[in-house]
Amino acid sequence: MALIVQKYGGTSVGSTERIKNVAKRIAKFQRQGHQVVVVVSAMSGETNRLIALTKEIQEQPDPREYDVVISTGEQVTIGLLAMALQDININAKSYTGGQVKILTDNTFTKARIISIEENNIRRDLNDGKVVIVAGFQGVDKDGNITTLGRGGSDTSAVALAAALKADECQIYTDVDGVYTTDPRIVPEAKKLDTITFEEMLEMASQGSKVLQIRAVEFAGKYKVKLRVLSSLDEKDAIASSGNNSGTLITIEEDKQKMEHAIISGIAFNRDEAKLTLTGVPDKPGIAFQILNAISQSNVDVDMIIQNVGRDGTTDFSFTVNRGEFEKALSILERVKLQLGAREILSDNKICKISAVGVGMRSHPGVATKLFQTLSDENINVKMISTSEIKISVVIDEKYLELAVRVLHKAFGLDK
Ligand code: ASP
Ligand code: MG
């Protein structure tokens, strides 16, 4: 008997028909004698709909009330799924984040989980119930509803799996695993049987939408056995060892893979915007003053470049999520005045493409190949950043598809 946490994304619970199918899948696991905790997202499109409603009322919605509204989608699906299970004679009970007590900090719209109370869940599991928990939401110490950032149900599932020391955390989604790149752009993309946690983290932070970044971080930190698989796949997935469906995110690097594939995948992110402050006085503390102002407003900064100083001034560029572009721009206007910088340049028609692979550590020449491939297509590179297992470039958004395709091929991922 195993304890499994299963998470079903928006598409998997996108209609009452699909919810009934999910119930059947859960029932199968439960009848095999496993204990099952289920985390669900809102029905597909629902969270976007709720966000649009808030923006019809307030252009910059009040963060606390925003969370009150956008957390409701998950409350609908937990109830419906519990009913669907009861309807096929499975004892099931739903919980909101606050009812479990998934305690978070009070950073509305992207709160972090602090702790999870497990007593109620354990009791229900021991009574033979399937426990269904609303993803994406928690509660702060004052009882305010919080949400965990878009895609946050993945993090809810992994955090629950960590807290309950589950045998496996299964993320059911509308794709059957993690691919070498998005198959909608490159039809030759291949499903990976395994990917290391570090690679997955890079893929997620470089734009692969399969798993939320925080979920991967959590899984790595607490050594949660994490698997991504399809809920639309009829072929049954069993939690027993030897089950090779989906993609398993491993802690151990797969030695064999290291020898064969240097690059595991090409990730990309369209949601990027670039900001440059020119003519900044070149003296100590400048980077701090610029980035501190940005981070104080909870805007995440991704790539950063500072040019070589000349004539006592320098140019400073960074990228942010496109959704936070306006906010970052207005902060930068203020910083510009404070620092006496020359001007702000901005570009929100850019994208980022990354080649990711642990094999890079032991194989030189990956960067050369990447730059050559892009140059052969006359694609201009605007920013570069690297880590031990990743090379990212910022390019014009209009070249995204082309760049992904040629890189996927150049690194032999089509084969
Ligand atoms: N429903 C939330 C969202 O759309 C959380 C999730 O699906 O993971 O972002
Ligand atoms: Mg998701």
- The CA-based angle 184-204-72, given to 5 degrees, is 90
Q: What is the reported pLDDT for 260?
A: 62
Confidence category of residue 210, pLDDT binned at 50, 70, 90: confident
The tokens for 334 are 């203020």
The percent of residues in the chain predicted with pLDDT above 90, rounded, is: 77
Q: What is the distance in A from the centroid of ligand 1 to the CA of 137?
A: 10
Q: What is the reported pLDDT for 252?
A: 59
Q: How many helices (H) and strands (E) does the chain have?
A: 14, 18
Q: What is the reported pLDDT for 254?
A: 52
User: Is the CB of 146 within 6 Å of ligand 1?
Assistant: no
- Which residue type occupies 113? I
Bigger pLDDT: 256 vs 348: 348
Reading phi first (left if > 0) and then psi (alpha if -120 to 50, else beta), residue 81 is in alpha
d(CA 239, CA 241): 6
Write out the residues surrounding ion ligand 2, Cβ under 5 A: 9, 151
Q: What is the reported pLDDT for 126?
A: 96
Alpha carbon separation from 162 to 61, 165, 168, 169, 260 (Å, rounded): 33, 5, 9, 9, 32
d(CA 251, CA 81): 32
Q: What is the distance in A from the centroid of ligand 1 to the CA of 102?
A: 16
Q: Residue 271 above 90 pLDDT?
A: no
Q: Residue 356 above 80 pLDDT?
A: yes
Q: Residue 281 above 80 pLDDT?
A: yes
Confidence category of residue 364, pLDDT binned at 50, 70, 90: confident
d(CA 345, CA 145): 38
d(CA 354, CA 392): 4
Q: DSSP state, 270? A: E
Q: What is the Cβ-side half-sphere exposure of residue 57, based on CA atoms within 13 angstroms?
A: 10
Confidence category of residue 259, pLDDT binned at 50, 70, 90: low
Q: Residue 332 above 70 pLDDT?
A: yes
Q: What is the distance in A from the centroid of ligand 2 to the CA of 107?
A: 20
The tokens for 77 are 């699906």
d(CA 57, CA 251): 46
Confidence category of residue 236, pLDDT binned at 50, 70, 90: low
Q: Which residues pair with 305 in a beta bridge?
A: 317
Could you report the per-residue pLDDT of 375-412, keeping only the tens digit for each?
999 999 999 999 999 999 999 999 999 999 999 999 99
- Which residue type occupies 18? R
Q: What is the distance in A from the centroid of ligand 1 to the CA of 149?
A: 8
Q: What is the reported pLDDT for 117?
A: 98
Q: Residue 26 above 90 pLDDT?
A: yes
Could you report the per-residue pLDDT of 33-83, keeping only the tens digit for each?
999 999 999 999 999 999 999 999 999 999 999 999 999 999 999 999 999
Average of per-residue pLDDT values in the chain = 92
User: Is the CB of 47 within 6 Å of ligand 1?
Assistant: yes
Q: Residue 177 above 70 pLDDT?
A: yes
Ligand 1 nearest atom to the CA of residue 148, by list position = 5
